[in-house]
Amino acid sequence: MADIDLKELFQQKQREFGTEGSGITRFENDFVSAVNYATSRISRQADLETRIAKVTKPEGDVDLSDEYDDVLSDLVTLRLIQFGHRMRDKDFDTREIRETMDRRIDSIRQSILNQAVESDTDNTSDFVGLGAGTGGVSTGGENA
pTM for this one?
0.76
Number of Cβ within a 10 Å radius of residue 18: 15
pLDDT in tens, 92-110: 788 999 999 999 999 999 9
pLDDT at 24 over 60: yes
Q: Judge whether 99 and 36 are in contact, CB under 8 Å.
A: no
What residues contact 35, with CB distance under 8 A and at least 6 apart?
Answer: 6, 9, 55, 58, 62, 72, 76
CA–CA separation, 100 and 132 (whole Å): 40
Q: How many CA atoms lie within 13 A of 115 on its CB side?
A: 9
Domain ranges of the chain: 3-117
